[in-house]
Amino acid sequence: MSQATPTVPYRQIRALYDDSTITVYQAYSPSIADAAVAAQRLDASPDFRPGRMTWIKPSWAWIMYRAGYSYKDARQARILALRMTHAHFLGLLNRGVLSHGGNLAPDRLDKNAEVRIQWDPERTPALHRLPYRSIQIGIPGSLSAQWVADWIISIEDVTDTARELKRTLDENPDVELQELVNRGLVPVEKFFPVPESIMAKLDMTLPEQAS
């Protein structure tokens, strides 16, 4: 796939969002996803296991990579788009501690942190590795009930979009990114601003560091 790579800070949050909500992604089994979409609650199926750490990702390309466009694993065969408020999203970040050191000294890591933050290589829609990072947020079991009951505003199954994206890329590997956006197969993810205190806490790249 032909794609120009813009200059992007090494660690920066990019997401689909509006004035009040932000979209994050998770992949589940069909039984969990069907019940979740119907009831608009992740725990609607008895197959959903509360009390376990669960990872959310604001990057569409990264969930494509993680779930193999929904084909990688039967337990991740359905991709869900979950909307939450900016306030709840920022609240998670404010509780977060890096799960690996990055540029932080080991003695600054809290192994007992409630929320874990990882910065993994971002991907293109064709799953090629990019030279900057994408955030993954681990919600611990201790916050699972609150996440399910209070923090999720809506749940949408976007599996068909993921599979159509893969079909399109398989048929035309040189398709331009803008064409994928125009077809509704890739969302427009913009820089999501956060307070400087969170940027420092999560070792994010400050604007003046980007070149």
Three-state secondary structure string covering 40-67: CCHHHCCCCCCCCCEEEECCHHHHHHHH
pLDDT per residue over 120-146, tens digit each?
999 999 999 999 999 999 999 899 889
Predicted confidence (pLDDT) at residue 109 exceeds the cutoff of 50: no
Q: What is the DSSP letter of 69?
A: G
Runs of H (alpha helix) within 129-207: 144-146, 159-171, 177-182, 196-201
Beta strands in the chain (DSSP E): 14-15, 21-28, 54-56, 78-85, 96-98, 115-123, 129-139, 154-157, 190-191
Residue, of 181 and 206, whose pLDDT is higher: 181
* 111 pLDDT above the threshold of 80: no
- Calculated CA dihedral for residues 94, 98, 99, 104, nearest 10 degrees: -160
Cross-strand partners of 97:
116
Rounded CA gap, 180 and 18, in Å? 20
What are the structure tokens assigned to 151, written together?
């923090």
Q: What is the pLDDT of residue 209?
A: 46
- 31: Cβ–Cβ under 8 A, 6 or more apart, which residues? 45, 47
**Where is 33: in which H helix or E strand?**
helix 30-39
211 pLDDT higher than 90: no
pLDDT of residue 99: 83
User: Once rounded to an integer, what is the mean pLDDT over residues 10-37?
Assistant: 97
Looking at per-residue confidence, does 109 or 128 come out higher? 128
Cα–Cα distance measured from residue 44 to residue 47, given in angstroms and rounded to the nearest whole number: 9
Band of the pLDDT at 206, cuts 50, 70, 90?
low
pLDDT at 114 (0 to 100): 80
pLDDT in tens, 68-88: 999 999 999 999 999 999 999
Q: What is the pLDDT of residue 50?
A: 85
- Tell me which of 104 and 186 has the higher pLDDT: 186
